[in-house]
Structure formats: structure tokens, C-alpha cells
């Protein structure tokens, strides 16, 4: 006879595959006729855009481009600084085991390097390396038995388990547009360099709706018509709404931003300004923390029970941690006197991750690339490195922790002191999302297969062995915890000791001798 069971639904957002891949992108650029020949390049910057991703069986396809900005010395009598821009397209198929069409995908991309080589005065070769971290998730709805309506004398071993159940996943596209004004005394000639970061991320959850907020932070170097270099900083709000049913403000929300496309160009309508348009893809994943009264084991003193038991993997203890690390240092750059700092790229690189003593510890190296300028507008680049480490405490140790770390430069300030010393002040934003994978034994398809035959009631004496629990003892002899506790006057059913003698009421099959 099949028993009437009460079930609770759990949605597991399971990480089925993760992979880091380096995408190598190469291409040539022909210098437009309106630009002078290239003598050599000063620096090259780029912004990675992934405008299409497709999850297929055993692979994922990515299509995108690198918006590339090349600052160079013109091959003319004045060796003037000039700039050219191009779009470096790429399309990549990345093989990933256990990946299936229809699964969800999260991608974090990072431009690791971009280099240029002058082939001739009218042609430049470009090589770039994009590091992508891909995580593939599958959603599985599981019904967990947490009670039996017609239980009778069935004994159930229960345990309250806190789990993070997936409520829903949603996404949206956000188009942010703005016009950045430059100094009114400057007439914009060319863009030289562009840095773009997504910063100040925030999320607010209301009933069935998520408000996502962030800012596109830009720093642009540009050339004026009178051959001077200017810089402009801007923050463009990125605000969007995502509809997900059955969510509320108590839920945990993870938001991932992907740059799909950008347009940055001199404004053709308004003088002394730059037009910017950013297309963002935003995906939100929402979890609820729920307590499941899980049945771990069961038996009946009088009936023969049959049931299936399967193991599932779910996530627990999901947390989001945000911190700011302040880095102050002094570095020496030779021959920096009589020069000014036009711009500095700060690239955080994780060298090592260690998890011990209830904390994550990271060794990080800040790669600094200075663009220096003298009075004659002669630009040059210098590279320096600053190693440091930081720790995130209060992490319970486990072999099954899944974590995702994002580092972001929030603020940076550099000041040239006497003697070639450069004072460095950097605010590093740390965003760490982590959870644990927990294996649960789930019981299902419970049914009775008739009464136990030829049984007599008896009481025996049992000596508690090492590792015994009242549940194991009661199940072994077809008794109940309540009966053993009552007969022996036990105050705490979780406190029995090795060598303790217990009276065990149980059913004993006829013609069978118990060895005690």
C-alpha cells in the first residue's frame, strides 16, 4: 500500500560546469587616409563587448568585439600624438563538458592584454587576449517528502536543514546614453584612450520586481585641435527593472552585468562634447532561504516498509560580501622629474587563493601602467607592480565551497614627489559571492508491504556500544525512541554513553534467539 506523503518543493540551481578560457583575437588595421602614417604606438586600450552568447550541447558560442583605441606617434616632422579607433571582432566556440542547450550561463570577461605592432606606416597588427570565466547552471525542481499523512506507528528520524532554493532568474537590456562636456576652450580632434568600468552596483527587491542600479565610469583621453591632451571623467547611470514572480525583499539576489555594445565618438551636434551610448545585459538570480524538515530515515515496529532513497546536491549558506581595501604605497620611477602623469591603468591580478583558518586569503598584484608627458608632448609609458594580500574572515571551512570574486578599482590617485617618488592611493572594491554545496539524502516512494508475521512482544537488556544512538537502537530492535526513553527514565535522548545498560521493549520473532 502506498502511503499518503506530504511534499515540499525545492528548486536547485546546480553548477554543472565551470571553465576559464583564454580567447586570442588578432587582426590588422589600415590607417584611414585622413590620418598620418604611424611611426610607433604609445599605448593601446580596449573595451570587451559580448553581444551574443548561445548555450549548446557540450559547448558555448560567444560573439563579440573589442572596441580598440590606439594612441600613436605620427611619422611627420613634428612627431605629433594622434589616435585611431577600430573594432576587433571575434567569434569563439568553447567546449564544455556536461553543458546542455537551455541551461543558464554566467560569463565574466576581462581583457588581459592588448598589443600592437607597426607593420608599415599604414598598417598595424593587433593581438589581444580575453580571459572569460564561464559558469553553467541547470535548474532542477525536487519534491521532498517531509511528512506522512497516515503514518500510524511509523517512526521518522527528522532534521531541520537550511537550504537556498532558487526562486527565479530574469534578465533585461539597458540602454544608457549621455553627452559628456569637455573644457569649452578645447576643440575635440580625436579620442586617444578609453577606460570603462561598471561600478557602484546596487540592487533593491520589492514584490515581484528587482531594481538594478550601477554606473558606467569612464575616463577618456582626447586630443584637441591645438595639439594638447585633455582628460574627462564621467559616470553614466545604468538603471533597469527585472520582473521575477514570487520574490520579496528578504530574498538573496545576485546580479551580473555584461557589456554588449558601446559607442563613444565626438558629438556631431554639440561642440566641446563627446557622445556615449552603452548597451548592458543584466541578469538577476534570486534565492530564498528556507528550512526543510527532512526525513532522514524511517521504519515501523509492526509493518514492513519499502522506500527509495536518493542523494541530491543543493546549496546552503549563500552570502554576498562587499568590502573596500585601501592601498597606500610609494614607488620610484626613474627619470620622472619634469614629467606629468596623463593617465594610469590599474589592473588587479589574483596570483593565489588560499582557504584556511576559516577565511579566504588572496595574493594580488596591482599592475600599473603610467602614461607620462613632458612639456613637448612627448608621451611614454612605464610599468610598475604593487603586491599585497587581503583576507575575508568568518568563512566556515568546507571542501564544497563555490565562490566568485570580483575586484574593481574604485578610486585612484597618484602624486609625483621630489626625487622621482610617486605616491599611490588606491581604493580596491572587493565583491565575494559564495555558498556551500551540500549532499542531502531524500526519501521517496514510501509504501507498506504487509504486517510483520509471527512476532511476540518482549523486553531485553542492551549494552550501549560506541557510536550508538537511540534511533539506531530502536530501529535495530523494532522499538521506538519514546518507548525506550519512558522505560529507562532517560532525560536527554541525545545523551547516552558507551557501556550504559538499557531495557529495550521490542517485537521478537518466534523461534529466534537474540544474542545480547
pLDDT at 99: 94
- What share of the chain has pLDDT > 90, as a percent? 51
pTM: 0.83
pLDDT confidence of 375, banded at 50, 70, 90?
low
Mean pLDDT of the chain: 88
Task: List pLDDT tens digits, range 446-477.
Answer: 888 776 654 556 788 899 999 999 999 999 88
Residue ranges of alpha helices (H) inside 185-289 are none
Confidence band for 515, pLDDT divided at 50, 70 and 90: very low
* pLDDT, average across residues 492-506: 89
Give 512's pLDDT tier (boundaries 50, 70, 90): very low
Mean pLDDT of 390-407: 79
Determine the pLDDT at residue 257: 94
Which residues lie closer than 8 Å to 406 by C-beta, 6 or more apart? 108, 429, 430, 431, 432
- pLDDT value at residue 29: 93
The confidence score (pLDDT) of residue 149 equals: 84
What per-residue confidence (pLDDT) applies to 381? 86
**HEC-encoded secondary structure of 391-443:** EECCCCCCCCEEEEEEEEEEEEEEEECHHHEEEEEEEEEEEEEEEEEEEEEEE
Please give the Cα distance from 84 to 72 (Å, whole number): 8
Higher pLDDT, 400 or 382: 382
**What pLDDT, on the 0 to 100 scale, is given for residue 459?**
84
pLDDT band at residue 516 under the 50/70/90 scheme: very low
pLDDT in tens, 411-460: 899 988 877 789 999 999 998 888 888 888 888 888 887 766 545 567 88
- For the chain, list the domains and their CATH numbers: 1-143 (no CATH), 153-185+198-299 (no CATH), 321-438 (no CATH), 454-509 (3.10.350.10)
Task: Look at 286 and 400; give whichever has higher pLDDT.
Answer: 286
Model confidence pLDDT, tens digit, residues 307-353: 888 888 888 888 888 899 999 999 988 878 788 888 898 999 999 98
Predicted local distance difference test score (pLDDT) of residue 453: 58
Rounded to whole angstroms, the Cα distance separating 481 from 470 reads 6
The winner for highest mean pLDDT among 129-133, 159-163, 346-350, 428-432 is 129-133
Out of 110-124, 151-165, 448-462, the most confident range is 110-124
Q: In what order do the strands lie in the sheet with 38-56?
A: 38-56, 59-74, 81-95
pLDDT tens per residue across span 200-242 = 899 999 889 999 999 999 999 998 888 888 899 999 999 999 9
The whole-angstrom separation of Cα 326 and Cα 380 is 28
**pLDDT tens profile 62-94:** 999 999 999 999 987 776 889 999 999 999 999
358: left (phi over 0), alpha (psi -120 to 50) or beta: left
Question: In the predicted model, what is the mean pLDDT of residues 364-391?
Answer: 86
Rounded Cα distance, 193 and 188, in Å: 13
> Residue 487, Cβ neighbours under 10 Å: how many?
14
User: Given a cut of 70, is residue 511 above it in pLDDT?
Assistant: no
pLDDT for 268 equals: 76
Position with higher pLDDT, 133 vs 79: 133
In 3D space, the residue among 304, 254, 246, 314 whose CA is nearest the CA of residue 284 turns out to be 254
Amino acid at each position: 500500500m502506498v502511503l499518503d506523503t506530504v511534499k515540499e518543493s525545492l528548486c536547485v540551481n546546480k553548477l554543472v560546469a565551470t571553465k576559464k578560457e583564454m580567447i586570442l583575437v588578432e587582426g590588422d588595421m589600415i590607417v584611414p587616409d585622413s590620418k598620418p602614417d604611424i611611426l610607433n604606438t604609445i599605448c593601446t586600450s580596449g573595451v570587451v563587448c559580448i553581444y551574443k552568447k548561445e548555450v549548446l550541447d557540450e559547448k558555448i558560442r560567444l560573439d563579440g568585439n573589442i572596441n580598440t583605441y590606439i594612441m600613436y606617434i605620427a611619422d611627420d616632422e613634428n612627431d605629433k600624438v594622434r589616435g585611431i579607433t577600430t573594432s576587433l571582432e571575434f567569434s569563439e566556440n568553447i567546449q564544455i563538458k556536461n553543458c546542455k542547450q537551455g541551461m543558464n550561463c554566467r560569463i565574466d570577461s576581462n581583457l588581459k592584454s592588448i598589443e600592437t605592432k607597426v607593420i608599415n606606416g599604414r598598417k598595424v597588427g593587433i593581438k589581444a587576449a580575453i580571459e572569460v570565466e564561464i559558469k553553467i547552471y541547470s535548474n532542477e525542481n525536487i519534491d521532498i517528502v517531509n511528512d506522512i499523512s497516515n503514518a500510524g506507528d511509523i517512526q521518522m528520524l527528522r532534521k531541520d536543514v537550511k537550504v537556498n532554493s532558487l526562486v527565479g532568474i530574469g534578465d533585461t537590456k539597458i540602454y544608457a546614453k549621455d553627452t559628456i562636456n569637455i573644457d569649452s576652450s578645447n576643440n575635440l580632434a580625436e579620442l586617444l584612450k578609453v577606460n570603462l568600468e561598471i561600478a557602484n552596483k546596487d540592487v533593491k527587491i520589492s514584490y515581484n520586481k528587482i531594481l538594478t542600479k550601477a554606473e558606467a565610469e569612464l575616463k577618456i583621453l582626447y586630443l584637441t585641435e591645438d595639439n594638447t591632451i585633455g582628460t574627462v571623467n564621467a559616470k553614466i547611470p545604468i538603471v533597469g527593472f527585472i520582473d521575477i514572480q514570487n520574490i520579496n525583499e528578504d530574498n538573496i539576489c545576485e546580479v551580473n552585468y555584461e557589456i554588449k555594445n558601446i559607442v563613444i565618438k565626438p558629438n556631431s551636434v554639440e561642440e566641446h562634447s563627446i557622445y556615449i551610448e552603452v548597451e548592458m545585459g543584466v541578469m538577476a538570480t534570486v534565492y530564498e532561504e528556507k528550512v526543510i524538515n527532512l526525513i532522514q530515515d524511517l521504519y515501523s515496529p509492526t509493518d514492513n516498509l519499502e522506500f527509495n532513497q536518493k542523494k541530491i546536491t543543493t546549496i546552503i549558506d549563500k552570502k554576498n560580501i562587499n568590502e573596500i581595501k585601501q592601498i597606500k604605497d610609494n614607488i620610484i620611477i626613474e627619470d620622472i622629474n619634469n614629467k606629468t602623469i596623463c593617465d594610469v591603468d590599474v589592473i588587479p591580478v589574483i596570483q593565489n587563493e588560499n582557504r584556511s583558518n576559516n577565511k579566504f586569503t588572496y595574493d594580488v598584484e596591482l599592475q600599473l601602467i603610467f602614461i607620462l608627458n613632458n612639456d613637448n608632448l612627448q608621451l611614454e609609458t612605464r610599468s610598475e607592480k604593487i603586491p599585497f594580500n587581503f583576507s575575508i574572515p568568518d568563512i566556515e571551512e568546507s571542501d564544497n565551497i563555490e565562490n566568485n570574486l570580483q575586484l574593481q578599482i574604485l578610486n585612484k590617485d597618484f602624486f609625483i614627489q621630489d626625487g622621482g617618488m610617486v605616491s599611490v592611493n588606491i581604493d580596491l572594491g572587493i565583491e565575494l559571492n559564495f555558498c556551500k554545496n551540500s549532499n542531502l539524502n531524500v526519501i521517496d516512494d514510501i509504501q507498506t508491504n504487509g504486517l510483520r508475521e509471527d512476532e511476540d512482544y518482549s523486553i531485553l537488556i542492551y549494552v550501549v556500544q560506541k557510536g550508538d544512538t537511540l534511533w539506531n537502537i530502536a530501529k535495530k530492535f523494532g522499538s521506538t525512541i519514546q518507548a525506550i526513553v519512558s522505560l529507562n527514565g532517560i532525560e536527554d535522548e541525545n545523551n547516552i554513553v558507551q557501556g550504559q545498560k538499557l531495557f529495550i521493549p521490542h517485537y521478537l520473532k518466534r523461534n529466534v534467539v537474540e544474542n545480547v
